Amino acid sequence: MAAAIQPKKGRPKAVINPDSCTGCEVCVAVCPVDCIDKLPGPEHPTMNSVCVIDQPRCIGCFLCEKICPWDAITMVPPQEAPATEAGTTAEGGGRRGSPESEARGTI
């Protein structure tokens, strides 16, 4: 059995800008460690869903950043990655002012 891929210290982390993410899930399909998930958005049916990254599991491979058709993913130094597991931008962290973003501990 192949060993699970472990994040290496110092590797960049991917963060998703929720204002640009359309929830297309292209990034979900390419992530080799399956650390991106689509957030359910039943509370906001008129809004696009967004994807989030489980930061501790991101290995910094850049695949999602390269393939995102909406340039919604940025690679940042690990110390600049969001503290939450949501994996969205530090200043955004979710659609600004939305209940979803507030629930994720970001603005």
Interface segment toward ligand SF4; rule CB under 6 A; list 25-33, 78-86, 88-96, 98-106: 25-33
Closest by CA position to 48, among listed 103, 13, 100: 100
Interface segment toward ligand SF4; rule CB under 6 A; list 21-29, 39-47, 89-97, 98-106: 21-29
Q: Should residue 15 be labelled a site residue for ligand SF4 when binding is judged by CB under 6 A?
A: no
The CA distance from 89 to 16, in Å, is 6
Contact set with ligand SF4 (CB under 6 A): 14, 16, 21-27, 30-31, 33, 35-36, 51, 53, 58-64, 68, 70, 72-73
